[in-house]
Structure 1
Amino acid sequence: MEEWKVVSVREADVEKDLSAIEELERRCQVGLCGDTVTGDGDDDGVAKKKKGMSLCAEQIGDPLARVRHSPEHVMLVAEFGQEKEIVGVIKACVKMVSRGGGKQHKPYVKVANLLSLRVSPSHRRLGIGTALVQRAEEWCRARGAAHATMATTASNAASLALFTGRFGYAPFRRPEFLGRPVHGHGLHVPRGHRVFQLTPEMAAAVYAQQLPPHDTEFLPADMPALLAHKFTLGTFVAIESNPDQSLPQSFAVLSIWDSTRSLRLRVLGAPALLRASLAALRALDRAAPWLRLPSIPDIFRPFGTYLLYGLRMSGREGPALLRSLCHHAHNVAHKNPACAVVAADISPDDPAAAAVPRWRRFSCDEDVWCIKSLNPSDNSHDWTAPPRTGNLLFVDPREF
């Protein structure tokens, strides 16, 4: 290979490489809902954009935000040519998660997650994405990971082809992103629904009962640490206010993760008429707040998000109680000017999904999780098989 074409992969020096990585991320902006296809990790194609509105994500000053919460994590960069220009990046983390395959398996297994594969649009089709993925897999395998996962969108054909074709990953789960904007006014919580905040210790006990590891996929072994994390604003439970019963027959529970300090979203490609209409609605709401118009923040500038996780419900009134908890989470977000959207990532076959309020334009069913065994000789658990009836899927907000 000619010297100027040499590609080398190394661990990133965050302080030294930050500006170059941020510029690379900017050039490889990725849509959450599949509306914008930028060739994320694509060595074989050129970036393309679909017409229409796109919900895009960008990190805030911390390129390790999605992996640093795991005890074992890394960011690798690819350098190109004599100038050692940074033209690619990938992040990975390794953690213990539940298998969810029933009691015939050990409850937890070490799984790696590959995130944020980016290759500069001017350096694609040079094998850079391949080199990054292979090195990341080697790093994860050396730390005992039995499986590696990655996530993309169904419409990102280039990314899917790269991972399912060249690297042998297989699609296996399809969580939905359900979002709604934060309104200019608080949402109603029925008087008959009582909302309480649990301590992290009480929350861990509740989730231990509601999310047993033998029935839950990808529940992190450090769930108590997640519930006590500084970005978890609280775990809340809703019950019916019924003085005739000493114990509630129905309840709902969820936790709120504040991603406003590590992640920004923004809407691109919106028609000028829509922008003007929403701006006029905000102006009218400011002038006449007593009308309680359903105005929303300026979503065409970068905004923050609160993520809901651990959504569970039980009993006849469970769906109504979970909707009330989602309204409560909205009202918590309303107090933070940096938060414009409340969202949840949840499996579509989870009964809780139907109870989560959402706006269609802020929701997405394009997510595709793919998985690969890093130890082909170990076939004790096949995640690519259809999930066992009643299995739950846990989506860790730390990796969003």
Structure 2
Amino acid sequence: MEFNKFRIRSYEGQSDRAQVEDLERRCEVGPSESVFLFTDTMGDPICRIRNSPMYMMLVAELDNELVGVIQGSIKVVTVHGHPPKDLAKVGYVLGLRVSPQHRRKGIGSSLVRTLEEWFTSKDVDYAYMATEKDNHASVSLFMDKFGYTKFRTPAILVNPVNHHCFQISPNIEIARLKIDQAEYLYRRFMGSTEFFPNDIGNILRNKLSLGTWVAYFKGDIAWGDFGSDGQVPNSWAMLSVWNSGEIFKLRLGKAPFSCLVCTKSWWLIHKIFPCLKLPTIPDFFNPFGFYFMYGVHHEGPFSGKLVRALCQFVHNMGAESKDESNCRIIVTEVGGRDELNHHIPHWKLLSCPEDLWCIKALKNEGTNNKFHELTTKTPPTRALFVDPREV
């Protein structure tokens, strides 16, 4: 495809890798001023979509120089009322980058348009994307030019991993589920959640998924009975953990001065007075890995306490991990007004209280009414199932 002398083509790993990594560095793409974690793909620019059922990466080339990139993935998810069987095929847009020297030349628009054409060729019903609400250029491109509509405003919660493990309440039982058990519980209790992935079993069986755990109060139910014949305790919680640090690292970008002072000061206090056993703030100045908690679900009047216990358990996993992922933070994403916000430990300085998801119907027939419901009638407090393959 030719437009203003640049060409859009598929990404070619061996020949394009170095130029794509250089483009990422030159773009200095990252969140807004209040959030400052950036990605390091460790030599694999396609790592963030590689585990998706179907994916594509496009590049824009001008005079043998790569001046733009975009990525996309496709999967089948739950969308209520969508025929057949409340399932729809959706395409996720991410990783749009345009060289600073070549912006305002239509390159970004051409990349988006070409990726949408690929979605259409694969019979995709909806395209969606996520961006920071303060990224005005991205919001303007997708919402004003391409007709995407605000869909969700989830919160990204980030909690540092320190060297001291938490003591979990002795009256709380935490047990690891077998994959088949986890899939059964997710389909039963979260299967009706909008955008719940139909291939949840593949996610749970992926080598990056470290497992699924449930928490409940001792004496409420015998572990062998959990989930069997539909039995669950009065209060319980579950979540799964994805080792994102195995595929890409994070690094601290242009951090606010207050964060730098806090991190350095806290580190010095810990070194000088180790006997205080203060929670330590990790070294964020070198690339590091992280765990992503997904499928967080809870039920019952005291389940918030169980969610917190599970988060402490995951923190301890990260603190005790000996693998190369070098886990230094725990990340999760929940609905912006979800009560889970109050139960999941997080550091506000690193967290993003309002991410922005936008959606667009790619088919004219049979999707317009459903699209209207998705963007106007879905309660903002409804639980989210964030696919860890798209983090």
TM-score by shorter chain over 0.5: yes
| 2:327 equivalent in structure 1 | 339
Aligned residue among 335, 360, 366 for 1:372: 360
Gaps of 5+ in 1: 36-51
What does the per-residue CA deviation read over 1:239-259, in whole Å, with 9 as the maximum and x for residues that have no partner?
101279887321110001111
What does the per-residue CA deviation read over 1:107-147, in whole Å, with 9 as the maximum and x for residues that have no partner?
21000011101000000111111111111000111001011
Matched, 1:241 2:230: no
| 1:93 equivalent in structure 2 | 73
Give TM-score, length-normalised by structure 2.
Answer: 0.89
| 2:85 equivalent in structure 1 | 106
| Alpha-carbon distance, 1:284 to partner | 4.8
What does the per-residue CA deviation read over 1:358-400, in whole Å, with 9 as the maximum and x for residues that have no partner?
1111210231111111112332412212305874321111111
SS at match of 1:68: coil
RMSD: 2.4
Kindly indicate whether the alpha-carbon contact (under 8 Å) linking 2:337 and 2:380 is maintained by their aligned counterparts in 1. no
| 1:62 equivalent in structure 2 | 44
Question: Per the alignment, do residues 353 and 273 of structure 1 end up closer, same or farther by CA in structure 2, a change over 3 Å counting?
Answer: closer
Matched, 1:128 2:117: no
Within-5 A mapping of 1:212-251: 212=191, 215-242=192-219, 248-251=233-236
Q: Which amino acid aligns with 1:92?
A: G
What does the per-residue CA deviation read over 1:172-198, in whole Å, with 9 as the maximum and x for residues that have no partner?
111110111111201121111111111
What does the per-residue CA deviation read over 1:267-299, in whole Å, with 9 as the maximum and x for residues that have no partner?
333466754653454355356544211112111
| 2:228 equivalent in structure 1 | none
Structure (1 or 2) with the greater helix fraction: 2
Kindly indicate whether the alpha-carbon contact (under 8 Å) linking 1:53 and 1:267 is maintained by their aligned counterparts in 2. no
Question: Per the alignment, do residues 102 and 316 of structure 1 end up closer, same or farther by CA in structure 2, a change over 3 Å counting?
Answer: farther
| 2:123 equivalent in structure 1 | 144
Alpha-carbon distance in structure 1 between the residues aligned to 2:295 and 2:77? 15
| 1:10 equivalent in structure 2 | 9
SS at match of 2:296: strand
Gaps of 5+ in 2: 226-231
Matched, 1:327 2:312: yes
| 2:388 equivalent in structure 1 | 397
Alpha-carbon distance in structure 1 between the residues aligned to 2:248 and 2:157? 17
Give TM-score, length-normalised by structure 1.
Answer: 0.88
SS at match of 1:345: strand
Alpha-carbon distance in structure 2 between the residues aligned to 1:259 and 1:195? 23
Matched, 1:278 2:263: yes
Q: Which amino acid aligns with 1:341?
A: I
Alpha-carbon distance in structure 2 between the residues aligned to 1:168 and 1:4? 21
SS at match of 1:260: helix
Alpha-carbon distance in structure 2 between the residues aligned to 1:108 and 1:4? 36
Alpha-carbon distance in structure 2 between the residues aligned to 1:260 and 1:108? 31
Kindly indicate whether the alpha-carbon contact (under 8 Å) linking 1:184 and 1:293 is maintained by their aligned counterparts in 2. no
- Equivalent residues, number: 376
Q: Which range moved further: 127-136 or 294-303?
A: 294-303
